[in-house]
Amino acid sequence: MLVDTGLQESPRHVCHHRQSEGGCADCKVRPISVCSVLTLPELEELESLSQHLVLEKGHALFGQDEPAGYVYNVIEGALRLTRLLPDGRRQVMGFALPGDFLGLALQDRFSVSAEALTSLKTCRFERRAFTGLVQAKPHLLRSLHDRAGYELTLAQDQMLLLGRRTAEEKVASFLLSLRERYARTGRTSVTLELPMGRQDMADHLGLTIETVSRMLTRLDRQHAVLLVPGGVRLLDLAKLESLSAN
């Protein structure tokens, strides 16, 4: 495994090499990641290309318009993906969770910034080396295509979310979507962790922070959710699904 040597000196990164306990074969996000299709020998080959990085909350994994020289697999934590618009406004494009791959687009530079919302663990792969591995393994390429299809579905859902829905419908849909994404990682608790702040939610949903707060309070008063420190408890899924389907 390679040793990470440059990121510690960057003022935006607080990363260091972290040897995995059991290697890629024992990675807890492997079943939901693109590397799930690889055999044990292939996983050893993949691990030889990887760097295990730790990033502190509030620091950037990469910035918008930076050269896209690496791809990343999120192991633990959450990231906020943002794009700075020409007029200076910030758009939150989405949130990366365990199992998500970042940097797979064909552009030479990152189109978004990725900032840690929590303590973060990620595998980093030099993009050219990872591309070479993918080209040699068609089943890995198919897995990447499946991942791209999943991300396209999320993007389409986001377009619908920003369309003709009311503020209450947007917030309900966001909570259910996050619940579904957590379920993919095996997290099925009725208490939904919200590592992103309400301003992040507002910038993602095309609302103001005041509106997001008001809609969460309304859902709480309707007993659809219960606001708790760090998240919400989903009390009435039928109510939320009814709102989300409109």
Q: Determine the pLDDT at residue 19.
A: 44
> What are the distances in angstroms from CA 193 to CA 97, 152, 221, 227?
12, 24, 19, 11
By the 10 Å C-beta count (0-12 exposed, 13-18 middle, 19+ buried), 84 is classed as middle
Say which residues have a Cβ less than 8 Å from residue 112's Cβ, sequence separation at least 6.
Answer: 64, 81, 82, 83, 93
CA trace torsion 184, 148, 175, 205 (10° rounding): 160
Encoded tokens for 121: 């663990």
- Whether residue 136 is predicted with pLDDT greater than 80 in this model: the reply is no
Integer Cα distance of 157 and 163 in angstroms: 10
Integer Cα distance of 7 and 17 in angstroms: 10
In degrees, to the nearest 5, what angle opens at C-alpha 173 toward C-alphas 74 and 205? 75
* β pairing state of 79-84 and 50-55: unpaired
DSSP for 102-137 reads ES-SS-SB-SSEEEESS-EEEEEEEHHHHHHHHHH-
Q: Determine the pLDDT at residue 160.
A: 66
Integer Cα distance of 105 and 137 in angstroms: 18
Domains and CATH numbers, the chain: 7-157 (2.60.120.10), 166-245 (1.10.10.10)
Q: Which of 7-11, 114-118, 164-168 has the highest mean pLDDT?
A: 114-118
Q: What is the pLDDT of residues 48-99, one digit of tens each?
A: 888 888 999 999 999 999 998 998 989 999 999 999 988 888 889 999 999 8
Q: Is 135 left (phi over 0), alpha (psi -120 to 50) or beta?
A: alpha
Question: Closest Cα to residue 233, out of 223, 241, 242?
Answer: 223
* Band of residue 106 on the pLDDT scale cut at 50, 70, 90: low
* β pairing state of 90-96 and 120-126: unpaired
| Whole-structure pTM value | 0.80
- Whether residue 131 is predicted with pLDDT greater than 90 in this model: the reply is no
Q: What is the pLDDT of residues 152-209, one digit of tens each?
A: 666 666 666 666 789 999 999 999 989 988 988 788 788 999 999 999 999 999 899 9
